[in-house]
Amino acid sequence: MAYSRGHDFLFCNLCGTMLSFSSTKYVECPLCKSRRSAKEIVGREISYTVTAEEIRKQLGISLIDEEKMQLSKERRRCEKCGNDEAWFESRQMRSADEGQTTFYTCTKCHHQTREN
């Protein structure tokens, strides 16, 4: 059966459809009409944890793979090795009414600096 053990009390033993209360004494499968005693279900609970990854998958959101992300380059002298080129990216680090922070990374030695 496709349902995990411990949760199968909510599903029909014959066809796997979720059961519904037809009266205070019985639960019934809406598809095949088989019945079970409501006593088997009353007072039982199911709990589960939803991860951030599962939410992203359901919403179709993917994380940016920073390793594969192509950064823009700028002529900027590295204070550590003197190289004249750096990658840069801007991020909103503080509240929206304040400016972005720009991060610079030397293309040669990977030394990082930032400007607010």
| % helix, strand, coil for the chain, step of 5 | 10, 25, 60
pLDDT at 66: 57
- Cα–Cα distance measured from residue 28 to residue 40, given in angstroms and rounded to the nearest whole number: 12
Model confidence at 108: pLDDT above 60: yes
Is the CB of residue 70 less than 8 Å from the CB of residue 89? no
pLDDT: which is higher, 52 or 4:
52
Q: Mean pLDDT across the stretch 30-42?
A: 86
CA 81/CA 4 separation, integer angstroms: 59
1-5, 30-34, 99-103: lowest mean pLDDT where? 1-5
pLDDT band at 9 (very low <50, low <70, confident <90, very high): low
